[in-house]
Amino acid sequence: MNLAGKKILLGVSGGIAVYKSCELLRLLQKKGAEVRVCMTDAATEFVAPLTFASLSKCPVYLKNGAVEARPFQHIDFPRWADLYLVVPATANVIGKFACGIADDPVSLCFMSCTCPRVIAPAMNVAMYNSPAVKRNLEILRGFENTTVLESPAGELACGEVGQGRLMEPAEIAKYLETRDEKPALSLSKGRETKGEKVQCEPPAISVAVDIPPTQDASLPGFGKKVLLTAGRTEEAIDPVRYISNRSSGKTAVALASVFYANGFEVEVVAGPMEAEFPKGVRVTKIRSARDMHDAVLERMKNASVLVHCAAVADYRPKVAATEKIKDSRSQLILELEPNPNILRDSVAQKRDDQVIVGFALETDHFEEHAAEKLAKSGADALLLNAPVATDSGFGRDCVRFALVETGKPVPQLAMGEKVDLAETILNFCLERLNG
């Protein structure tokens, strides 16, 4: 399916994966689709409706309505759409779909929808494997014009490992583009229904399968590689304790998704983090700043773009104890020494045809500190971000940011989605690569 000009209704139900629906919405828009959104009350507890309204430029269909709401949205929204996409689909809303219950915008739209319907489940592995959910998914697979996407195995938000993860936004978008040519993605043997291969039973052993990226020569990043750093680093004090910070990795995931959606080969050197990368992204996991330093310098040779997004510890303990330091309630003095500067050392090895972007996280004197750091680093640009603000920063979808370029005044910080931040960096890098 060519998404350009398509009208997609995005149904969002309540789960931790709701933030990925924002990313999916932007990916669909970048491919030319027009998107509207309906939400359950539970979904609004994770991401505010204003976020989806701002991204879609259309009022969100909510149970309690909105100022712009019309009385027949449960009919008008599905009738407007060429495709109804439910992401994420929780166990609760899947049960409603299967049993014909329609008591919220997402289930009402499903009931009255006559266009193709695509459902992406997301839940804990125990719920996903429960007899009720398995039965309900099997019922939905038998519905006419309805596709249930695979729920990949991997580490879940709760820390458990198994099936139940939401299929990554980039993978969902890629499936929608190819759904007319080939069957739905599946990681296990399935049955044939109306020309599409769908899953019947979860595999006995849960295995995370990395689906390699499909290059599209029409995309601006075709044939180019971006190397990202992500997450945080941990500097050992003893085998139990360490020095670190609060970075969740969500900004790096937005960057990886945006570069990937624009055709880049994406490689990431990642420290510990909570956010998850889309399939097709090659990830090397490290823990300390020195490990990240060595991995970046080794891998940067084949990259067209480097984006240093990781929150790297500036210092590490000079001596790390080999055994746990006992609690004697006496004062403990830690002697610290500086970690290598990964950004500056990569700039020292930079080729003329490479673009390097660093990050500067500041809490005060933004313009002064950002300009100073850019000058010292020698990077092509710095993404200045200020995470200390209400409902923004660490672990959130929004942040105040500005792109600082060499020889130009520091622009005003503006609040935006982390996907907007990623697109700002992407556009800068493409301009530089194109001369």
Residues 360-387: tens digit of each pLDDT: 887 777 777 888 889 899 999 999 987 6
Q: Is 215 inside any structural domain? A: no
Residues 338 and 246 in one domain: yes
- Distance from C-alpha of 291 to C-alpha of 431, rounded to nearest angstrom: 31
Helices 73-80 & 105-112 angle (0-180, nearest 10): 60
Q: Is 372 inside any structural domain? A: yes
Helices 418-433 & 250-261 angle (0-180, nearest 10): 50
Residues 326 and 229 in one domain: yes
Q: Is 209 inside any structural domain? A: no
Q: Are 410 and 390 in contact (CB under 8 A)?
A: no
Residues 378 and 428 in one domain: yes
CATH number (domain holding residue 381): 3.40.50.10300
Burial of 80 (0-12, 13-18, 19+ CB in 10 A): middle
Q: Are 140 and 196 in contact (CB under 8 A)?
A: no
Q: Is the whole-model pTM more than 0.85?
A: no
Sign of torsion over alpha carbons 258, 264, 265, 271: negative
Residues 279 and 365 in one domain: yes
Domain count, the chain: 2
List, for residues 189-199, the tens digit of each pLDDT value: 333 333 333 33
Residue of 113, 115, 158, 309 marked active site: 158
Reading the block at residue 26, the tokens are 């932007």
Q: Which of these three, 142, 164, 199, is where a domain ends?
A: 199
CATH number (domain holding residue 184): 3.40.50.1950
Residues 136 and 242 in one domain: no
Q: Which backbone phi and psi does 98 adopt, to 5 degrees? A: -70, -30
- Distance from C-alpha of 109 to C-alpha of 20, rounded to nearest angstrom: 21
| pLDDT at residue 307, rounded to an integer | 97
Q: Which of these three, 151, 181, 199, is where a domain ends?
A: 199
- H/E element, 172: helix 169-178
Residues 239 and 126 in one domain: no
Q: pLDDT band for position 394 (50/70/90)?
A: low
Residues 242 and 299 in one domain: yes
Beta strands in 103-176 (DSSP E): 117-121, 146-148, 153-155, 161-163
Burial of 14 (0-12, 13-18, 19+ CB in 10 A): buried
Residues 399 and 256 in one domain: yes
Given a cut of 80, is residue 234 above it in pLDDT?
yes
Q: Is 420 inside any structural domain? A: yes
- Top-confidence residue, 77 or 110: 110
Residues 409 and 351 in one domain: yes
List Cβ neighbours of 434 (8 Å cut-off, separation of 6 or more): none
Residues 307 and 368 in one domain: yes
CA angle 149, 80, 174 (to 5 degrees): 30
| pLDDT at residue 230, rounded to an integer | 94
Reading the block at residue 61, the tokens are 């269909």
Q: pLDDT band for position 329 (50/70/90)?
A: low
DSSP string, 381-414: EEEEEE--STT-STTSSEEEEEEEETTSPPPPPE
- Tell me the average pLDDT across 198-214: 33
Residues 167 and 232 in one domain: no
Which of 43, 68, 305 is closest to 25 using CA atoms?
43
357 residue type, one letter:
V
Q: Is 76 inside any structural domain? A: yes
Q: Is 388 inside any structural domain? A: yes
Q: Which of these three, 165, 199, 233, is where a domain ends?
A: 199
List, for residues 123-147, the tens digit of each pLDDT value: 888 888 888 999 999 899 888 889 9
β-sheet bridge partners, residue 20: none
- Tell me the average pLDDT across 397-404: 84
* Three-state secondary-structure class, residue 86: strand
- Tell me the average pLDDT across 218-226: 91
Q: pLDDT band for position 280 (50/70/90)?
A: confident
Burial of 103 (0-12, 13-18, 19+ CB in 10 A): exposed
Beta strands in 288-421 (DSSP E): 305-308, 315-317, 336-338, 355-361, 381-386, 398-405, 414-417
Residues 368 and 421 in one domain: yes
Q: Is 218 inside any structural domain? A: no
Q: Is 158 a catalytic residue?
A: yes
DSSP state of 110: H
| pLDDT at residue 182, rounded to an integer | 35
Which of 385, 54, 406 is closest to 252 using CA atoms?
385
| pLDDT at residue 216, rounded to an integer | 67
Q: Distances from the Cα of 237 to the Cαs of 240, 244, 246, 316, 332, in angstroms?
A: 8, 11, 17, 8, 11
CA angle 251, 254, 258 (to 5 degrees): 145
Which domain covers residue 303, as residue numbers? 225-433
| pLDDT at residue 78, rounded to an integer | 84
Q: Is 387 inside any structural domain? A: yes
DSSP state of 302: G
